[in-house]
């Protein structure tokens, strides 16, 4: 910094401020004595650009969307919510959380063993995660994230001026030793997907949860964020980590079970964290529409979605594809949710060959940091008649997978 200040003829504090601004905006990454480097691309560019354009006639199994046929119809729920809002209008100064929604959420969380805490509402899981991170961390702080993991989250962390620390994943969730190394190296927060992990389908089992809680208790000041976005579409039990650290948040979204366009997630956590998030939320959007919250209550009360049936449907499609791939000698992962992850030796070639064969899959680069290449296949709308041909096409495109692990 001193050398640059002399070269430019400016004060060293000016150079330091410039570096700080570049880091906060995600343009550069700093690594202490190892110096700083320009990121390969601006943090806000987004991994969503790493996608395949699906030509006409090509089957799209890349989009990550739920099956529209399994989503509830919303007209009746919103009509009932609108009628309630006509009778009981929500005005400035009212509670930002619909009381009945809070009651239903709390009862469900109690049943799943999530510790008690205040209830708050956000506009989807990513909105909740962003608000929680900003409530506790400062630019330059390290965040342990799953690798492979949710592409939008891998974009969000550096966009906030934070630094990602990759944590390996297997079928049971984040690897315990990787989480320990990340925390010992200075990570101030860790983000864990409990079930239906995107893109691998991993789900945290009982033994892994005990091991992770033990590691987290050794670092009680760590901010723990759990994302249970698969609630309502999974057939594996929840093993929450919440409460293992002083500051924690547990997030649930309705996107996969009731529809992405509702833009609704609920979360609980320690009182300090939730209070910080709700306080900052009041200075921005104020609250998530109580009309939407009331519609969610109606959907919940009416049992608009048979969660067992939905989970069974996704599970059958997912398991069928994993079995069909195994018959062709291709290892694949998909313990829960609506995606299957296939490690491949040549990601670009595999995607291109599958596209030529009539199948559009998601390039693994959208979800990877240090993990070797792979492809993600969304099975949510895959039919029984399509499973065999898809597995055969994958086998021809990728050959036997290099290993049965992600890293």
Residue 210 sits in the same domain as residue 245: yes
CB 84 within 8 A of CB 291: no
Residue 229 placed within a domain: yes
Last residue of a domain, one of 301, 316, 332: 301
Q: What is the 3-state secondary structure (H, E, C) of 341-352?
A: EEECCCHHHHHH
Residue 60 placed within a domain: yes
Please state whether the predicted TM-score (pTM) of the whole model is above 0.75: yes
Residue 122 sits in the same domain as residue 153: yes
Report the C-alpha gap between 10 and 294 in whole angstroms. Answer: 57
Could you identify the residue written with the tokens 């691309």? 41
Give me the pLDDT at residue 401, please. Answer: 46
Residue 241 sits in the same domain as residue 386: no
Report the C-alpha gap between 330 and 158 in whole angstroms. Answer: 34
Residue 254 sits in the same domain as residue 156: yes
Residue 22 placed within a domain: yes
Residue 105 sits in the same domain as residue 238: yes
Residue 276 sits in the same domain as residue 129: yes
Residue 154 sits in the same domain as residue 170: yes
Tens digits of residue pLDDT in 356-377: 999 999 999 999 999 999 999 9
Residue 46 placed within a domain: no
Residue 288 sits in the same domain as residue 315: no
Report the C-alpha gap between 369 and 371 in whole angstroms. Answer: 6
Last residue of a domain, one of 301, 317, 339: 301
Mark the ranges of the chain whose per-residue pLDDT is less than 50.
Answer: 401, 403-404
Give the residue from 348, 335, 405 showing the smallest Cα distance to 375. Answer: 348
Give me the pLDDT at residue 65, please. Answer: 95
The total number of structural domains in the chain stands at 3
- The Cα-based distances of 315 to 113, 259, 368, 377, 379 in angstroms read 24, 19, 24, 14, 9
Give me the pLDDT at residue 199, please. Answer: 97
Written as one string, the DSSP assignment of 288-338 is: --HHHHHHHHHHHHTT-S-HHHHHHHHHHHHHHHHHHHHHTT---B-SSSS
Report the C-alpha gap between 237 and 195 in whole angstroms. Answer: 9
- The Cα-based distances of 177 to 7, 166, 174, 201, 215 in angstroms read 45, 12, 9, 20, 9
Last residue of a domain, one of 248, 269, 301: 301
Give me the pLDDT at residue 196, please. Answer: 97
Give me the pLDDT at residue 34, please. Answer: 73
Give me the pLDDT at residue 213, please. Answer: 98
Give me the pLDDT at residue 51, please. Answer: 76
Could you identify the residue written with the tokens 């590691």? 215
Give me the pLDDT at residue 313, please. Answer: 97
Residue 164 sits in the same domain as residue 207: yes
Burial (Cβ within 10 Å: 0-12, 13-18, ≥19) of residue 373: buried
Supply 180's token pair.
């320990």
Q: What CATH code is carried by the domain that includes residue 246?
A: 3.40.640.10
Give me the pLDDT at residue 368, please. Answer: 93
Residue 252 placed within a domain: yes
**Could you tell me which residues are beta bridge partners of residue 167?**
146
Residue 406 placed within a domain: no
Residue 251 placed within a domain: yes
Tens digits of residue pLDDT in 136-150: 999 889 999 999 999
Report the C-alpha gap between 39 and 26 in whole angstroms. Answer: 8
Residue 267 sits in the same domain as residue 341: no
Q: What angle do CA 50, 384, 391 make, to 5 degrees?
A: 50
Q: What CATH code is carried by the domain that includes residue 346?
A: 3.90.1150.10
Report the C-alpha gap between 21 and 95 in whole angstroms. Answer: 37
Residue 271 sits in the same domain as residue 327: no
Residue 150 placed within a domain: yes
Residue 208 sits in the same domain as residue 88: yes
Give me the pLDDT at residue 224, please. Answer: 98
Domain span at residue 24 reads 2-38
């Amino acid at each position: 910094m001193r050398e640059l200040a002399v070269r430019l003829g400016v004060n060293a504090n000016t150079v330091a401020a410039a570096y700080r601004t570049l880091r906060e905006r995600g343009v550069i990454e700093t690594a202490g004595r190892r110096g700083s480097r320009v990121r390969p691309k601006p943090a806000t560019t987004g991994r969503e650009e790493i996608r395949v354009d699906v030509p006409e006639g090509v089957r799209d199994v890349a989009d990550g969307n739920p099956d529209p046929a399994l989503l509830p119809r919303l007209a009746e729920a919103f009509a009932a919510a609108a009628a309630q809002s006509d009778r009981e209008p929500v005005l400035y100064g009212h509670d930002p959380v619909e009381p009945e929604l809070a009651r239903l959420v709390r009862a469900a969380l109690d049943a799943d063993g999530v510790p008690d805490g205040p209830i708050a509402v956000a506009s989807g899981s990513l909105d909740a995660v962003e608000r929680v991170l900003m409530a506790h961390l400062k630019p330059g702080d390290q965040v342990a994230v799953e690798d492979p993991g949710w592409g939008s989250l891998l974009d969000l962390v550096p966009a906030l001026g934070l630094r990602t620390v990759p944590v390996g994943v297997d079928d049971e969730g984040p690897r315990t030793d990787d989480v320990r190394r990340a925390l010992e190296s200075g990570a101030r927060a860790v983000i864990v997907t409990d079930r239906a992990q995107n893109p691998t389908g991993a789900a945290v089992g009982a033994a892994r949860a005990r091991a992770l809680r033990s590691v987290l208790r050794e670092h009680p000041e760590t901010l723990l964020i759990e994302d249970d976005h698969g609630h309502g579409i999974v057939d594996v039990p929840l093993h929450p980590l919440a409460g293992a650290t002083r500051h924690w948040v547990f997030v649930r979204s309705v996107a996969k079970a009731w529809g992405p366009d509702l833009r609704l997630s609920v979360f609980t956590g320690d009182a300090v964290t939730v209070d910080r998030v709700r306080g900052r939320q009041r200075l921005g959007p104020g609250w998530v529409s109580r009309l939407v919250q009331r519609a969610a209550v109606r959907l919940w009360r009416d049992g608009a979605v048979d969660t067992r049936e939905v989970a069974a449907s996704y599970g059958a499609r997912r398991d069928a594809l994993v079995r069909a791939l195994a018959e062709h000698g291709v290892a694949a992962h998909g313990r829960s949710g609506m995606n299957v992850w296939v490690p491949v030796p040549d990601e670009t070639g595999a995607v291109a060959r599958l596209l030529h064969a009539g199948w559009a899959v998601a390039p693994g680069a959208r979800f990877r940091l240090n993990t070797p290449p792979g492809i993600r296949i969304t099975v949510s709308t895959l039919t029984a008649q399509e499973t065999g041909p898809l597995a055969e096409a994958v086998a021809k495109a990728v050959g036997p997978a290099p290993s049965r692990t992600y890293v």
